Amino acid sequence: MAGATTVTSGFQQGLDVKAWKYWIDSDTYQQEKAVVPLIYKTIPIDTLHYQCTSMVGTGDWRQFGENEDIPVVTPIESWIVYLKPEKWGKQEIVSHEVQKSFQKFDNFLKAQQPSWNEDYVRTKEKHGANCFNYGGFTLGHEYFNATVTGVQTDPYPLFIYDSSALYATNGTDDHVNKASQSYYNGLLTTPFSVVNLQAAWNLFTITNARDEANSIVDIEPDLLVYANDVQFTVEEVMTSTTRPDTGMRADNVMKSMLGNRLKNVPWRFIVTAGHWMLIKSSANTMYPGFIFLEKEAPRFKFWEDNNNENYQMSATSMYGAGVANWRFVVGCNYPTS
Could you read off the pLDDT of 192-201 as tens digits, one per residue?
999 999 999 9
Work out the number of other CB atoms within 10 angstroms of the CB of residue 113. Answer: 23
Considering only the C-alpha atoms of the chain, give the largest distance between any 2 of them, rounded to a whole number of Å.
Answer: 90
For residue range 98-128, what is the model confidence (pLDDT) as tens digits? 666 655 666 666 767 777 888 889 999 999 9
Instruction: List the domain range (segments joined by +) for residue 251.
Output: 8-51+76-332
Alpha helices, DSSP H only, in the chain?
Answer: 10-32, 36-39, 96-99, 102-133, 194-202, 231-239, 253-258
Whether 1 is in a domain gets the answer: no
208: domain CATH number is 3.90.1690
Split at pLDDT 50, 70, 90, the class of 215 is: confident
Interatomic CA distance for residues 38 and 135, integer angstroms: 18
Note the pLDDT of residue 247. 61
Domain count for the chain, please give it.
1
Whether 36 is in a domain gets the answer: yes
Question: Where are any strands of DSSP class E within 235-289?
Answer: 263-266, 276-279
Whether 111 is in a domain gets the answer: yes
Interatomic CA distance for residues 88 and 90, integer angstroms: 7
* Mean pLDDT of the region 238-257: 73
Whether 67 is in a domain gets the answer: no
Whether 66 is in a domain gets the answer: no
Strand partners, 273: none
Note the pLDDT of residue 78. 84
Whether 128 is in a domain gets the answer: yes
For residue range 19-66, what is the model confidence (pLDDT) as tens digits? 555 555 555 555 557 999 999 999 999 999 999 887 666 677 888 898
pTM of the model: 0.87
Whether 91 is in a domain gets the answer: yes
* pLDDT-above-70 percentage for the chain: 84
Whether 56 is in a domain gets the answer: no
